[in-house]
Amino acid sequence: MLNSMTGYGEAAEPLDGVCYAVEIKAVNNRYLKTIIKLPEGTAFLEDAIDKELRKQIARGTINYVLRLKGVSAAAMFRIDEASLRSIVTRLQDVGSSLGVGGAIDLTGLLDLPGIVQPVQPDEKTGEKIKQFVLKLTREATEKLCRMREAEGRFLETDLRKHCDTIEQELKVIHDRSSFVVQEYAKRLRKRVDELLAEAKLNLDQQTLAREVAIMADRSDIAEEITRLDAHLQQFRQICRTDGQAGRRLDFLSQEMLREANTVASKSADAQIARSVVDVKCLIERIKEQIQNVE
């Protein structure tokens, strides 16, 4: 069963009077990329959260946000009063020496580096918070994965329909290819007979047969059709058995397109050319949809 790379999951629960809310959004990416945003004072959780996300998710850009609600400012930040007093004293001294008066804006001083610092919990409290946040992370990730699985089922259904249509077009191409050589032989014989009649000459039948054989060899697409059909069967098999099949399906779709291009280059028949165009359009649709498969 296929999984989509897009999804959403959330979980929220209080701990010691503070509500912890986890929100996870996933979008397409060729690789796995985690973007973790944490409030001040909880940066120590980043590594553990990243490892937890990577346990259940293989591909995609994962946007993770942790929010805290109901926590007091005193619990989150502390002001380095000693440094602030020192700065205020020095500013007053400078103002007196220069003969400049006026009030000092404390609000502006709070923006100075190191004045307002996040409160770091002690080891025991930090471990308690970490385990709690990881539990919420698992709950949100499970919801995210369920959504990705649901979207993956729709993707798989659509991809299978495209494969079935390609298979039908391949049958048309295969059936038509058996008549192309015969029609070419008839047209060649007719044209040669017309030219020879005007010149009153005869053409060796072996020479004519040799020309037809060369054309048949150059336009033989049986091998390409067989390989393309084999790719379709493998494509379906991967969809049924592999939940993280995006890269493999992407490779297969490229191989399918390569075989279709070879068929187009070998065949000079207009009907086959139209069918090949339809096949290539379907493969391009498959390639676009696979970009959203994990």
Domain boundaries, the chain: 7-74+121-145, 81-109, 151-290
At residue 182, the pLDDT reads: 61
Q: Which residues pair with 10 in a beta bridge?
A: 23
**Cα gap 130→138, rounded to integer Å:** 12
Q: Which residues of 1-20 are buried (b: 16+ CB within 10 A; e: fewer)?
A: ebbbbbbebebeeeeeeeeb
Residues 44-72 have a mean pLDDT of: 89
**Cα gap 42→114, rounded to integer Å:** 17
Instruction: Say if domain 7-74+121-145 classifies as CATH 3.30.70.
Output: no
Per residue in 66-101, pLDDT tens? 998 865 444 555 666 677 677 777 777 677 777 666
Question: Running DSSP on this structure, what letter comes out for residue 101?
Answer: -
Question: Running DSSP on this structure, what letter comes out for residue 110?
Answer: T
pLDDT mean across residues, the chain = 80
More confident residue, 218 or 23: 23
Residues 262-272 have a mean pLDDT of: 79
Tokens encoding 257: 């397109």
Q: What is the pTM of this model?
A: 0.69
Q: Which CATH code fits 151-290?
A: 1.20.140
Are 231 and 260 within 8 A, CB to CB?
Answer: no
Alpha-helical runs (H) found in 24-122: 46-56, 73-76, 81-98, 106-109
Nearest to 66 by CA among 127, 22, 13, 34: 22
